[in-house]
Chains A and B, each alone.
Chain A
C-alpha cells in the first residue's frame, strides 16, 4: 500500500563558503518508513539532517514537509476568553448575528468548514514541532526531571507563558494531565522508575530513552535521530535499537489494520550494522562518485549514491549481522571507498524495487 510522502528534499545543495558539502539531494520519505542515512565522515549527513530540522537551512533547494493541520493551537488568553461561555453566548446570539449581517461581516449561513483532514505541504523555514529530534549529546534539559522533560513539549506546545500566568488554575489541571501522559510515555520506553531523576543522575542509555519519549509524546510527522546511540556501550545500544524496532512493529500493525503508520523516522549513524538493522531503507550519502563524468571540474559535494531497501527485523529476533553481510560489503565498497567512483544514480533503486514488489 502506498502511503503519503511525509518529507521531501528537493534539489537540496549546501556549501560553507568555498567548501561544497551537499549537491542536488533528492529524497522522498514515505510515511512509516525508517530511513537510515549513512556515509563516510565529513560527507554532510549531519548537515542534511540540520537542514531538515530547520536550524541550518540549505543554500539551494527546499525541504517540504507534509503537515497535518493541527486541531488545537496554543491555549492563548484570547482563545480562552473567546471560548468562555458568556462570551460565546453573546457571540452566537441572534442579535449579534443580525448586527454582523447588517454590517456585512457575516453570511447567512456559516461557511462550510474546511476539510480538517486535508493535508498540506509546507516548506521548512526553521525548526518546528512537526519534526522531533534526538541528538547524541545534550538531549535533555538538565534542570528538569525525566518526567518534566517528557512533559515539556506538551507544556510548550499547548500553552503560552502569559496563559500559564493568567490562567493558573486551568493550567494546573492541564499540567496534571500532561504529567500523566508523560508517565505513560516513560513506561513505554521502560523507564517508569526513573521519573524523578535528573539527567545528571541517569546513565547515557537512560537519557536517550527519555529523549526518545520526549520526542514521541509530541507525535511529530517525522522523528530525526542524529547519531543517537553513538556514545553508548554495545549492549545498551542493542536495547535501544530493539526499542526502535518495536516502534516499527507498531507501524506494521497499523498498516495491517488499515490505519496510517504512526512513526516515520530518519536515523543518521556512522555504524553500518546499526543502519541496516534498524531501518527498512538504506540511503548512502557520499562525495565519492563520478562527478567528472557529469561534467564537473571539482567535486560539487556529496550526493545520494545508494538508496535501497534493507531487511526488516523483529524486535525479539536474534540480532544477526550475518544476514545482511552482502549488503554491508556492497555499501562499504560503493559508498565508503574513496577509490570507487560510479555515476550517482546507479544504485538508487529503492522506488523501482518497491514498485516491482
Chain B
C-alpha cells in the first residue's frame, strides 16, 4: 500500500544511509580521479579538502580570514535585502488586500515584474543602484518582493469577512482591525513565505556578488573557480548549505514562538 507510515528508526536509518552513500560515492570518485592524476584539484580527496578548510579559516597574507570576511559581507547583505523585502511586501500586500483600489492599481504591474528574472535584469539594476550594498539589496528585493507581496496579499484576502465584521461589533477601529487582527492572521504566512524565498534570495545575491563584488561568498567562489581550487569551493558550498539550514531553522522557531496557533509546523 502507498503512503503507509514507517517507524522512526527506519526513517532515520534510511536518511543516514543516503548521506553515507553520497559521501562514499564522492570518496570513490575522487580516489579514481587521483589514481589517474595524483595532482588533480577538480575532485579533491579528503586530505586536500582539509587543506582547503585550513586555507579559508586561517588569515591570508593580508591578515583576513576568508570565511569570516565573506560570511559577514554576504550575511549582512542578505539580512538587509530580506528585511527591506519583508517590510515592503507587508506594506504592499496589506494595502492591496484591504483596498480594492490599491489592488487594481498594483496587481498588474506586480505580476508583470514577477515575470522578469532578476538575474537577467541585473545589468539594469547595476546602472540604477550603482555598486555595493545598494545593488545587492535592490537585486534581492527585486527578486523576492513580487512573490512575497503576493503571498501577503492572498493571506489578507483569505481573512474571513465574518471575523472582520465581528471585530467591528466588538468595538474595533479600522487600524485595530488591520494591525492587531489582520497582521496576526498574516504573520505565519509571512514567515513561511520568507522561509521559501530565502533560497531564491541567496541565489540572486550570490549571482550579483559573482558579477560585481570584491567580497562575499559569490566573489570568493568566482576567484577560486578561475584557479580551479575546488578544495576551497566545496567547503564554501557546505558552509552555504549550513547557512541555509540555520536560517530556515531560526525562522521555523520564530514562527512557532510567535504563532503557536498556526497549524503548519
Determine if A138 and B171 form an interchain contact, defined as CB atoms under 8 angstroms apart. no
Q: Chain B contacts of A133 at CB under 8 A?
A: 165-166, 169
Q: How far is the CB of A145 from chain B (nearest CB, A)?
A: 8
Q: Chain B contacts of A144 at CB under 8 A?
A: 261
Q: How far is the CB of B176 from chain A (nearest CB, A)?
A: 6
Q: Does B160 contact A (CB under 8 A)?
A: yes
Determine if B261 and A143 form an interchain contact, defined as CB atoms under 8 angstroms apart. yes
Q: Does A350 contact B (CB under 8 A)?
A: no
* Chain A residue total in the interface (Cβ 8 A): 33
Interface string of A121-163 (1 = CB under 8 A from B): 0000011110111010111011110000000110011101100
| Cα A160 to Cα B177 with chains together (Å) | 11
Interface string of A198-238 (1 = CB under 8 A from B): 11100000000000001100101000000000000000000
Q: Chain B contacts of A275 at CB under 8 A?
A: none
A-contacting residues, B21-70, CB 8 Å? none
In-complex Cβ contact of B180 among A161, A199, A218, A220 (8 A): A161
Query: Given contacts A135-B166, A138-B163, is CB(A153)–CB(B171) below 8 Å?
Result: yes
Task: Closest B residue to A132 by CB, please name it.
Answer: B169
| Total A-B pairs, Cβ < 8 A | 74
A-contacting residues, B140-181, CB 8 Å? 160-163, 165-173, 175-176, 179-181
Q: Chain A contacts of B176 at CB under 8 A?
A: 156, 160-161
Task: Closest A residue to B160 by CB, please name it.
Answer: A138
Task: Closest A residue to B159 by CB, please name it.
Answer: A138
Q: Does B126 contact A (CB under 8 A)?
A: no
Determine if B162 and A127 form an interchain contact, defined as CB atoms under 8 angstroms apart. no
Determine if A128 and B261 form an interchain contact, defined as CB atoms under 8 angstroms apart. no
Q: Chain B contacts of A200 at CB under 8 A?
A: 261, 263
Determine if A55 and B165 form an interchain contact, defined as CB atoms under 8 angstroms apart. yes
Determine if A131 and B180 form an interchain contact, defined as CB atoms under 8 angstroms apart. no
Which among B170, B172, B179, B262 has the highest number of chain A CB atoms within 10 Å? B170
Interface footprint category on B? 20 to 34
| Cα A3 to Cα B175 with chains together (Å) | 38
Q: Chain B contacts of A215 at CB under 8 A?
A: 169
Q: Does B106 contact A (CB under 8 A)?
A: no
Q: How far is the CB of A354 from chain B (nearest CB, A)?
A: 29
Determine if B261 and A142 form an interchain contact, defined as CB atoms under 8 angstroms apart. yes
Determine if A218 and B170 form an interchain contact, defined as CB atoms under 8 angstroms apart. yes
Interface string of A145-188 (1 = CB under 8 A from B): 00000001100111011000000000000000000000000000
Q: Does A331 contact B (CB under 8 A)?
A: no
Determine if B169 and A129 form an interchain contact, defined as CB atoms under 8 angstroms apart. yes
| Cα A161 to Cα B181 with chains together (Å) | 12
Query: Given contacts A53-B165, A129-B169, is CB(A198)–CB(B179) below 8 Å?
Result: no
Q: Chain A contacts of B262 at CB under 8 A?
A: 143
Q: How far is the CB of A245 from chain B (nearest CB, A)?
A: 24
Q: How far is the CB of A95 from chain B (nearest CB, A)?
A: 37
Determine if B175 and A156 form an interchain contact, defined as CB atoms under 8 angstroms apart. no
Which among B167, B173, B181, B261 has the highest number of chain A CB atoms within 10 Å? B261
| Cα A273 to Cα B180 with chains together (Å) | 40
| Cα A53 to Cα B170 with chains together (Å) | 12
Q: How far is the CB of B1 from chain A (nearest CB, A)?
A: 29
19 A-B pairs with CB atoms under 8 Å apart are A53-B165, A54-B168, A126-B168, A131-B169, A133-B166, A133-B169, A139-B166, A142-B185, A142-B261, A143-B184, A143-B187, A152-B170, A153-B170, A156-B170, A156-B180, A157-B171, A161-B173, A161-B176, A214-B170
Given A53-B169, A156-B176, 13 extra CB contacts under 8 A: A126-B168, A127-B165, A127-B168, A129-B171, A133-B166, A135-B162, A139-B162, A141-B163, A143-B261, A153-B171, A156-B172, A200-B261, A220-B169
Residues of B whose CB lies within 8 Å of any CB of A are: 160-163, 165-173, 175-176, 179-181, 184-185, 187, 259-263
Q: Which 3 A-B pairs have the closest CB atoms?
A: A157-B171, A153-B170, A127-B168
